[in-house]
Structure 1
Amino acid sequence: MKLLPKVLLVLCLAVVANSYAQQEIVAPSDDERPVDIPYVIIEEKPMFEACKELPDDRQFQCFKEQLDKHVNTHFRYPPEALAEGIQGKVTIAFRINTDGTVSIIGKRGAHKILEEEAAFLIRSLPCFIPGKMRGVPTAVTYAYFFNFKLPDDYNNPQISKSAN
Structure 2
Amino acid sequence: MRIILKSLMFGLILLISAGVSAQEDKVWPMAEYMPCMPGCESRKDRNERRDCTKEKVSEHLIASLKYPAEAKKAGEEGVAVISFVVRKNGEVTDLVIDEDPGFGMGAAAMKAVKKLNKLWVPGEHLGEAASVQMKIPVHFVLPEVEEVQSAAPASDVYTVVDEMPVFKGCEDKSVAESRQCTFEKIMEYTDENLKYPEEAKTAKVEGTVRIKFVINEDGMLTSPMIVEGIGGGCDEEALRVLNSMPPWKAGIQDGKAVKVEMELPFRFKLRGE
- Calculate the TM-score normalised by the size of structure 1: 0.66
In 1, are the aligned partners of 2:199 and 2:232 still within 8 Å (CA)? no
In 1, are the aligned partners of 2:210 and 2:265 still within 8 Å (CA)? yes
Matches of 1:42 and 1:126 in 2, distance apart? 21
Match of 1:94 in 2: 213
Match of 2:193 in 1: 74
| Offset, 1:60 | 1.0
| Offset, 1:83 | 2.1
Matches of 1:85 and 1:57 in 2, distance apart? 39
Looking at secondary structure, tell me which structure has more strand per residue.
2
Match of 1:36 in 2: 157
Structure with larger Rg: 1
Looking at secondary structure, tell me which structure has more helix per residue.
1
Runs of 4+ in 1 over 3 A off after TM superposition: none
Match of 1:140 in 2: 260
Greater alpha carbon shift after TM alignment, 96-105 vs 109-118 = 109-118
| Offset, 1:114 | 1.3
Query: Structure 1: where are the runs of 5+ without partners?
Result: 1-32, 154-164
Matches of 2:199 and 2:225 in 1, distance apart? 24
**Distance change >3 Å, CA 132–CA 88, structure 1 → 2:** same
Deviation by residue 1:39-90 (Cα, 9 ceiling, x = unmatched): xx21122112311121222111111111111111101011121122212111
**Distance change >3 Å, CA 97–CA 106, structure 1 → 2:** farther
| Offset, 1:138 | 0.8
**Distance change >3 Å, CA 95–CA 112, structure 1 → 2:** farther
Matched, 1:126 2:232: no
In 1, are the aligned partners of 2:215 and 2:221 still within 8 Å (CA)? yes
In 2, are the aligned partners of 1:107 and 1:115 still within 8 Å (CA)? no
Matches of 1:36 and 1:105 in 2, distance apart? 15
Match of 2:85 in 1: none
Please provide the CA RMSD for this pair.
Answer: 1.7
Query: Structure 2: where are the runs of 5+ without partners?
Result: 1-153
Match of 1:149 in 2: 269
In 2, are the aligned partners of 1:85 and 1:150 still within 8 Å (CA)? yes
| Offset, 1:145 | 1.2
- Calculate the TM-score normalised by the size of structure 2: 0.41
Match of 2:4 in 1: none
**Distance change >3 Å, CA 123–CA 107, structure 1 → 2:** farther
| Secondary structure in structure 1 of the residue aligned to 2:189 | helix
| Offset, 1:112 | 5.8
Q: Kindly, what percent of the aligned residue pairs are identical?
A: 27
Deviation by residue 1:76-128 (Cα, 9 ceiling, x = unmatched): 01112112221211111111111211120333122262111111111111101
* Corresponding residue to 1:49 among 168, 175, 182: 168
Letter in 2 for 1:60: R
Matches of 1:116 and 1:58 in 2, distance apart? 32
Deviation by residue 1:116-144 (Cα, 9 ceiling, x = unmatched): 11111111111011112122221111111
Kindly tell me the number of residue pairs found equivalent between the two proteins. Answer: 119
Letter in 1 for 2:229: G
In 2, are the aligned partners of 1:91 and 1:146 still within 8 Å (CA)? yes
